Amino acid sequence: MSTEAPKGSVLVLGARSDIGLAVAHRFARQGYAIQLAARNCSSLAADCADIALRYGIAVTAHEFDVLATAGHEAFVAALPELPIIAVSAVGTMGKQDDNERDMAAAITDIRSNFEGPAIILAVLANHFVARGSGTLVGISSVAGLRGRATNYVYGSAKAGFTAFLSGLRNRLAKQGVHVVTVLPGFVDTRMTAGMDLPAKLTAQPAEVADAIAVAVSKQRNVIYVRWMWRYIMLIIRHIPEGIFKKMKI
């Protein structure tokens, strides 16, 4: 059980996701109180009990719908305390075929990967600026670095989110608030269940959480989780468009 003085709270948005839960465990182990935010948050009771029992810290669950952007300000105001670190692990990855045929599905994917996470971090940013401290972590995706036929709806929303984080970091750099952009590459989660992912390029959720904790403490700006991804994406981004458009990747 932690005997250190309370370190403040870490807010995890999208706390039911595998990465969100791993992040919660990682920061709880360091002695932070944890605020888990997700839809239907009463179903997180078992996770709250688990984290509280393991690390001897306070854990609270908060109802949060990332698409209900009008309620974001009220959501932050209702938290038991303003967190010192907020991590957005929100996101969906719809099927590309569905997104091509069903525009409502495409809109949901775009909103839940870009609009929703961007707005909640924007609200939190203003509170952090008023306090003069804090760290915002946005989990984006390498898919946002170049649109590909197989998932460009998801990818373009992530591209928007990545650009938003970059701008936010630029704006807040002189105001004591740090912004971390995470581009995890493949992760072994519910989102990727059933996909045949190469083991060497696929991180476990706990690895992503470790990378985030290090990035927060060292004030890193943009992180990849497994190092190979930095170079893979460097190559993919530099393929001339004339060739790229005919490729199947």
Partner 1 sequence: MKLSGWGRFPVSECRVEAVRCEADVLALIGKGDVIARGNGRAYGDSAANALCTIDMRRMNRMIAFDASSGQLTAESGALLGDVIDTFLPRGWFLSVTPGAKFVSLGGAIAADVHGKNHHKDGSFGSFVDWIEICGADGQVRRCSRTENADLFAWTLGGMGLTGVILRAAFRLRQVESGWIRQTLIPAVNLDAAMEIFEASQDATYSVAWIDCLARGRSQGRSLVMLGEHALAAELPRHRQSNPFDTGNRAKRSVPFDLPRMLLNSLTVEAFNDLYYWNGKRKAGQVLVDWDSYFYPLDALLQWNRIYGKRGFAQFQCVLPLEASKSGLTALLSAIADEGGGSFLAVLKRFGAQNGNISFPMPGYTLALDFPVSPRNLTLLEELDAIVLAHGGRFYLAKDSRMSRETFHRSEPRSDNFSKFRGNEDMQQHFRSAQSDRLGL
Binding site for partner 1 (CB under 8 A): 1, 18, 46-47, 49-50, 53-55, 190, 193, 196
Separation CA 87–CA 46 (nearest Å): 21
Beta carbon nearer to partner 1, 18 or 115: 18
Which stretches of the chain are DSSP H helices?
18-29, 45-55, 72-77, 96-101, 103-110, 116-131, 152-172, 205-218, 228-238, 241-244
What is the nearest approach in angstroms of partner 1 to the Cβ of residue 53?
Answer: 5
Nearer to partner 1, 21 or 153 (CB): 21
Q: Which listed residue (32, 55, 154, 224) is catalytic?
A: 154
166 or 204: CB nearest partner 1? 204
**Alpha-carbon span 209 to 212, nearest angstrom:** 5
Task: Closer to partner 1 by CB, 104 or 193: give it.
Answer: 193
Write the DSSP string, 63-116.
E--TT-GGGHHHHHHTSSS--SEEEE-------HHHHHH-HHHHHHHHIIIIIH
CB atoms closer than 10 angstroms to residue 239: 13
55 labelled catalytic: no
> What minimum distance in Å lies between the beta carbon of 205 and partner 1?
9
Task: Give catalytic residues, as residue numbers.
Answer: 154
